[in-house]
Structure formats: C-alpha cells, structure tokens
A = this chain, B = another copy of it.
Amino acid sequence: MSGDSLGEMFRVTSFGESHGRGVGVVVEGCPAGLEISVEMIQKELDRRRAVQNLYSTQRMEEDRVEIVSGVFNGFTTGAPVCMIVWNREFDSKSYDSIRFTPRPGHADYTAYMKYGGFNDYRGGGRFSGRITVGFVMAGALAKRILSILNIEVIAYTVEIAGIRAKIKDIFEAKENMRKSIVGCPDLEASKKMIEAISSAKEDGDSVGGVIECVALNVPVGLGEPVFKTLEGELARAFYAIPGVKGVEFGAGFDVAKMRGSENNDQYILKGGKVLTKTNNCGGILGGISNGMPIVCRVAVKPPSSISREQDTVDLARMEEVKLKVVGRHDACIVPRALPVVESMMAIVLVDNAMKTGIVPRVLKT
C-alpha cells in the first residue's frame, strides 16, 4: 500500500532522507548463498557520485555502505539484507528558507500538501535524488544475481540538451561509454553534451537528457501479463528515480509513425535459436521477454535546482514571492543516473526471474 517497497519476490524497501541520519534499504527475498562484499556494493555507489567541476554538487559525501543484517561470513543468509549509508555532517540551515516556499520543479509543494507540512523539507528530504543511494545498493545485489544467470544490464547516455548520440551497436556502446565522462558512447556527441552542460552551468541553468538501458542474455519468459508486464514493471521502477518523465521500449513513440509491416519483428532461426530480424518490440512481446535484448529509454528532466530567480508562493502567508535557490547543484543528472537506471532494471529482472523459478532459493557457488 505504502509506496516504499518494490518487487514481490525480491523486495526492496527504501528508507531515509537527504539530510537525516542516513539512507538505506532492506532487501527481502535475496537467495541464500550469494557472495557479498562491502567492496562490491561500494563500487556501484562510487559510480553514482558526481564528476566534480563538470556537473557536480558541492556536497561530495563519501557514501560508505554499512551492512546491518542478512549477510554472514560473506554470504547472504536468506534473511533480509539491510544496508545503510550514513549521512555525514552538513549545514542544513540554508533549507529553512524553502520550508514554506516550494522550489519550482521539486516535490516541495506536493510533499508539503500530502504530509501536512510534517515532511522533512531539508534538501528535498525523502524526495531528494540522494535516496537513489539505496536503489544502487539493492541494485548491486540484483546485478550479482543476474551475473549468475549470465544476464548483463548496461545503461548509457543517448541524449543531453537535445544532442542525440548515434549508437551503432550495444557492444561498441558498452566499450565507448567508459571513455565518456557523461557515459555517452558516441564520443563526438559526448563532447557537445559536455559543452552544453558547461554552458548551462555558467548560465545558472540545467539540462535534461535520455538514457538507454539494455539487458543482454535475458531468457524467454520473464514478465507476468496482463498487469505486471515487463514493460509495466520496468516503467514503474524507473519512475521512482526523481526527474524521470518518460519511458519507452524498443521503437517506443516512433511506433506512431510506423506501419505494421515495418514494426513487426519477423522471426528467423539462427544457430538453432529463434531470433527476430529487427527488435522494434525492445525484446518484449505481450509483456514477456522474447530472448532478444531488452531495450528501453528513460527521459530525465533538467535538474530543478537552478540559480535563477523563480516565481513561487509562500504557503504560510499564501502570497506570491520570488525565490532564488542557493548552493551549487548538478547542472545535469543524466550521467549520475546511469547506475541508478541499471539498478532499477536489475531489481525488476531478478524479481521476475525469481517468479519464473529460474533463481534457486539457495545459490550454489
């Protein structure tokens, strides 16, 4: 009922706030016998950190994971895994100014209204991008399970500030994205994207973009029609990432321009396997994986924190006021969102793999 949990067999419960004691996650249903180390989780957390000077926030916490439960002698026990990253000391006084004057684009207003002003407004509180720290920790576990199933999840940048990357194929994308600090495999486009971000930053403004996420080696049969289609479950997970406003699969919105004869993915046999010539369905038919790569795209809006003066309303006095958000913030969150998007996909795929019975409750490694 409450919305803090994702998944049914691999169930992720998020807790924590931007400026509270910390952010954390409880993972229920993780199979026993999964080898887990702090380093492995830390590595994913580090990928989520900002690249300083380019699009960074001032605040550069170290984000050290503490495993509280569910792991014993280096392996999961089958009991819930609780992981916490403690927030470090910081000055949250600057946020008093926003208590009653919601920042445009942020959840300040809706949180204030829904929770009657009791919400922790400091730094966006529960609605801050910081809570994705928890998603990434859970995602690290999920990715580890996927690796046993030989499934790989990769997210890369395909658009920032209207600049679109050209992606040749997923294998090149995987290779090249590491060379780009914005995670874009088209290195020409990457340069322009970096310029666009810098330019926005100088203007005290921000830019949005699109992330493509691909899963390789997904077996046929994941997804539970009709209301828990793979598309639906993935979309729901992606929309938990602050700033996501669109999710599409395969040809996505371009299907509106296509004819059936173009859009239908015709079947062929290759090496004894049933494949499709094209992949306009993004690897999902009838809500179920068809064995082709799962391909989706996630639209991420420009960060709402900009240094320009904006119009807002003082909710205590009910009068129109001007607001200028202070502090430095990310001019673009697309690159930092890449491991988060991967994590969401990994969590959903593990949950669905468990439902189909292909993940044993005890892993033999």
Decide if B268 touches A313 in the complex (CB within 8 Å).
Answer: yes
Determine if A257 is an interface residue (Cβ-Cβ < 8 Å).
yes
Q: Are B299 and A355 in contact (CB under 8 A)?
A: no
Q: Which of A257-308 contact B (CB under 8 A)?
A: 257-261, 263-269, 272, 274, 276-277, 280-282, 285-290, 297, 299-306, 308
User: Do A286 and B111 contact each other (CB < 8 Å), given the known contacts A79-B17, A360-B357?
Assistant: yes
Enumerate 16 A-B pairs (CB-CB under 8 Å) in ascending A order.
A3-B227, A5-B13, A15-B81, A21-B67, A22-B69, A32-B118, A72-B118, A77-B126, A126-B226, A200-B259, A205-B260, A231-B244, A232-B235, A247-B248, A248-B253, A261-B308
| Range, interface on chain A | 35 or more
Which residue of chain B has the shortest Cβ distance to A22 in the bound complex?
Answer: B68
Q: Which residues of B contact A16 (CB under 8 A)?
A: 68-69, 82
A100 to B207, CA, bound (A): 49
- The yes or no answer to A169 lying at the interface (CB within 8 A) is no
Taken together as a complex, chains A and B put the C-alpha atoms of A257 and B334 apart, in Å, by 13
A29 to chain B, nearest CB (A): 4
List residues of A (78-121) whose CB comes within 8 Å of B's CBs: 78-82, 84, 102, 104-107, 109-111, 113-116, 118-120
Known A-B contacts A33-B118, A239-B232, A252-B299; the reply to A264 vs B8 at CB < 8 A is no
Residue A326 CB within 8 A of the other chain: no
Contact B80 A245 (CB under 8 A): no
Query: Would you call A21 and B69 a contact (CB within 8 A)?
Result: yes
Residues of chain B contacted by A205 (CB below 8 angstroms): 259-261
Assembly CA distance A67 to B21 (angstroms): 8
A233 within 8 A of B: yes
The answer for the CA separation of A115 and B123 in the assembled complex, in Å, is 41
The complex places the Cα of A121 from the Cα of B120 at a distance, in Å, of 39
- B246 and A255 within 8 A (CB): yes
CB of A227 within 8 A of CB of B5, answer yes
Q: Which residue of B lies closest to A249 (CB)?
A: B245
Contact: A236 with B246, CB < 8 Å?
A: no
Q: How far apart sit A260 and B196, CA to CA, in the bound complex (Å)?
A: 13
Do A104 and B265 touch (CB < 8 A)? Answer: yes
A151 → chain B closest CB, angstroms: 17
Contact A267 to B311, CB < 8 A, known contacts A68-B24, A82-B16, A105-B260: yes
Residues of A213-249 contacting chain B, CB below 8 A: 220-221, 223-229, 231-233, 235-240, 242, 244-249
Q: Does A26 contact B (CB under 8 A)?
A: yes
Residues of B within 8 A of A251 (CB): 245, 301
Contact of A1 with B by CB under 8 A: yes
Q: Which residue of B lies closest to A80 (CB)?
A: B15
CA distance in complex: A68, B85 (Å): 11
Which residues of A from 49 to 73 have beta carbons under 8 Å from B?
66-70, 72
